[in-house]
Structure 1
Amino acid sequence: MIAKKLKIYGGLLGLMTALVWPNAQALETQQLDKDASNEIPESSVPVFGQSLFQGGFKDQPFNGFNPDYRITVGDQINLQLWGAYSFSATLAVDPQGNIFVPEVGPVRVAGVKNGELNEFVLRHVKRVFKNNVRSYANLEASQPVKVFVTGYVNSPGLYSGFSSDSILYYLDSANGIEHDSGSFIDVKVLRGDQLLQKVNLYNFLVEGTMPALQLRNGDAIVVGPRNGAVSIEGAVQQAAQIEFIGPYTQLGEMLLVTKPDPQANFARITQVIDDRQQASYQPLSEALATPLYPGARVELVRDNDIKSISVSVSGEVDGPATFVLPYGATLEYLLAQLSFRANADRSAVQLYRKSVAEKQRVALERSLDALQMEVLTRQPNTELEKGAQRDNAAMIQNFIAQARKAKPRGQVVLANTPNAGAMLLEDGDELAVPVRASTISVVGEVVFPTSLVFNEKRKLKDYIELAGGFANNANQEELVILHLDGTISRIEDGKFNSRLKGVLRPGDEIMVMPKIQSSELQVTKDVTEILYRIAVGTAAVLSF
């Protein structure tokens, strides 16, 4: 059943605002005042199933009977007897649940399945007519009933029909479900205060299946309120708002309802999570498992149909957390959209890019592979060298294992580049606007890694001493200073006692690297290169 596949158990949409270059703005929610809601605007795509009750179900009563239909009071049974005794008539099931067969007497048929009716009646006939009499019993008409239809339907009321009519007949008689407020997946059939059946109309819409119900006088069909929904459009066979039950669903489950275009390969997802609007652009294969919360909007696209990109913004800015910009937008264009706070450091805007992080990761992996090969293939000349190399190899292997866990940030250095504003943004870029800093951090191989208030009169040596001095394993011949804007400075020990005016700035990280203790020159060079690459790429110092 589609209900199981979709987890429509108990738990994008509209195209994201089409932005016209060069007057593009961010999403509509990004244009709201600061005190306005951060909700995504209501979707304009149709509700899945809203056209269901245009098919005239109420004009076509169902006269057929399934084999499991159980005979009830008021049903009409056509009975034929022939042979030694002949009889033909349509008999009504009386209030006691019987039909009266001449020469045989009352036969209680109430509760008998329709598929077993003929054999059941024949057995009773043969109790009187042992030979030469045959019978044929056929359900001709079911009992007329009146059923209540209520809840989120357009015209609640009491409607006449037959016990064999489907709930679609009665829902259509009530002019259908209110598609803006009623649920297509939470329809209940009640008999008194007992739940007779829960019906998910998505099963009928997608697979054509409908539970076989046998209604009685006074039964009630109740349509519940609409549950959470996500909107899916773009490269799909039918753009629609799809309902689900629960706190969240997944894109893969929703696509079982509205089928994707075979060439769709990316998904743009916009939703509000923890009162913050978020947007992402992912390959469809990765997006299938993405949690979707009520109100989410998904646009499936073909790779060559990309018309916009999503860029997240954080830090000292007011406004939305995510901007959807025209494909081909530049950094300068995005910066013009931002509302900087008073304490924002505009000169140190940071840009992080997934493709850069991936390149950094690949370069690091290659260096680690080369180092591992160097260590494993070196041949010792003496037994003494063999023992030393074994210990050295164990140490290097441990270092390699730690280094492979490093995750580069992918920072794009914007400082000292006059044409940085003209740089094209990529989908998934992250822009961070730091607060105007007043401290300097000292990290790595010092006794007490810490942050200190910046004082332009202090020297590098002063900051090291305030952090407890060099640790035993510190490289005291060179320091690395990582600036907020992503640039780096490598300072040799001869300048440790200098003020370095203009080089040492608020927000900097003074990175004290570990000293490489290896008897092999090439290994020392390789490890040093890797350590610096990790420090710059991850803003962290890896111990050795």
Structure 2
Amino acid sequence: MAAQAQTQTQTQDVKNLDVKSLPQSEIDRAKKAMQDAGLSQEQAIQLARQRGATEQQIMEMRQRLSEQDTSQQNMYNLYEEPEILPEEKEDSYLSQRKVEFKEDLEVFGAYLFNNENLTFEPIVNIQTPKNYEIGIGDQLLIQVWGNSQNNYQLRVNNNGQIVIPDLGPVYVAGMSFDEAEKKIVKNLTAIYADMAGDNPGTFAQLDMGQLRSIRVNLLGEVVTPGTYTLPVTATVFNGLYLSGGPSEIGSFRNIKVIRDNKIEKVIDIYNLLVKADPSDNITLKDGDIIFVPPVEKQVVVNGEFKRNGIFEIKEGEMLNDLVGFAGGFNAGAYLGNTQIVRQTQKGQQIIDVPYEQLSTTPLVKGDTVQNALITDRFENRVSIEGAVYHPGVYEWTEGLTLAQLFEKADKLLPEAFKGRGLITRYNSDRTTSAIAFDVEEISTGKQNILLQADDEVLIKTHFDLKEQPYITVNGEVIDPGPFNWSENMTLGDAIFLAGGLTEGADSTFIEIARRLSYSDASVLSDTIGHIIIANISRGLQLGKNDAEMKLRPWDQISVRTAPNFRKNETVFVSGEVAYAGAYAITNKQMRISDLVQMAGGYTPKAYLQGATLERFSDELGSERVAINLQNILKNPGNDKDLLLKNSDRLNIPEFMQTVKISGSVQNPFSITFEPGRNAKYYVNRTGGFQAQANKRKTYVQYPNGETAVTKGLIFRHYPKVTPGSMVVVPEKPEKERQQGLWLAIASTMSSMAVAIAAIMNATN
């Protein structure tokens, strides 16, 4: 009933809500609540309807949310760079570039106007040339110094005049800078009398201030046609750059500058691109028109040229001109045959053009010119590999013999196999033939063979033609391993190569395993080898015992360890003993009880039940061995009294007074030991088990390393606890925990939905 009353109250509150008067903070909070709940705007509105919101309120909320999105977008736009109008910007006569940079343009020359690292922006701050023509709108700066001093900043008016105070108008429009300077200085003598004569006392100088602007029109096939405002010093390329240059179908070689209704100049950009000739880049004048007509003839270059792309060709230009525009052929281009693929009304044609006809071959609109690589096949080589001083590839000439090739390769190596060599020769169909020869007879001149182009000669060493013999030394030597066998090698030599004997070696018992001889191996039997026992002196002196025994290939030598040899071994004892420290193992039968006795016995504070033994082995590494030292010392020499091994560490701790509780408990910590208590008692002392605790698996780890687990399915019997023990409560497996979690989630789903709806109701 209470929930129903609350719902009715919320519905009445929703109907009375004025959405228009809500502060922006409430709108922001409503939007955040929607996002946190994972609800879309439509889902939130549906919940509002269920809570009693009217359609008028919903419409107003939509509008408020929409206004918020728009205001945020406007806020972001505040950070964007605003457009600056010409009259608001310094140097307002400069039009701004209105084209974005493009990549991967194929038309040759387009990169000139679409490259971020190359610009043709008009230059304003330059030294005024003497032949600069002064026009209406230019600002002139006149500086007077000497006996009289004055500064004038005068602009050329629409009548072509500057008006000098106390003097009057002076006409300068159309005059060169040099002429205007002379005229102005001459007129200033009317004010400054001592400026004239052979020995003047007052001087004047003319400088240009802010230059006038001009307007030019870019028409035709440009990327961004229009009217552009430029400084008076601007050139044709400045105008083309601002407009983005010729479009994809615009001409680069027939650009017209029209002035006073006449063609002033025809611009060919290729002159700059190919010849670095800037003479076409003339200065513009006010009212000029730059007209870019459509391109008339384009051809494609694709192949082994330094530049590939689309090129524009003028009437009368030949294929060699196009190759020049493309930068010439690559180093690997096959010059003997350049091909033209030509479009016709019936299809396509291929035209092969020899190199000597490039200058006389015309091109047609739409042609594709291509060129391939030279084949990588050598026409005049032979090769020699193997047992020569300088193997490799050599020049083949008519009449070259095999003996001459030996000389080119700096003769045969001493280890060369003289009985046979091999020539691999290519037939006309690129199959191969093998030609064997006697290396000895070729090298002595008794025989010779005439070589052909592409012949491959192979000479092997006698090492290549048989298995390299070796011996093996292992066991108690300093540097065991295989070693190459040599003629007359002895057992002493082999031990010497292996670095000598170790301290544990038994020099009186060295085993040599030897393969069967060829004659023995040819007879079928169970014997697969021979064993020889040798005896040598430890000093490896010559002639002592069997040290001079000759070895055969493949002998395997094994040096055994002396029967009773053992390296010094040490064990350690620490904790509550009279004399803690390291002790040597002097007897194979030395046990734990012996070590305690050697250490002077344990002290009154010793806690024997907590004693531990740490042992290291190559197989298992470091491990902890559970022992019962109290029983061991009562019955020394029994099975529990372990034999000691090298690096064993016995630790006898002081009596422990606490018990540690860890794992899935409410408050894990250590508790003072109480006799007779089991594991559950200590868990309860920490606040009890957590929800995910696996009570059945609770166990106790005793100080000596042993473990006791909880027993029983229905009635659990928890293990006893001793001083220094640790009670461990593990968690349930993840699968069991997830099952419990989903049950909890399922039980709260409906309450979560009500909570989300309540949030939306409160904010709307």
> TM-score scaled to structure 1, two decimals?
0.43
Structure number with higher relative contact order (C-alpha < 8 Å, ≥ 6 residues apart) = 1
Bigger Rg, which one: 2
> TM-score scaled to structure 2, two decimals?
0.31
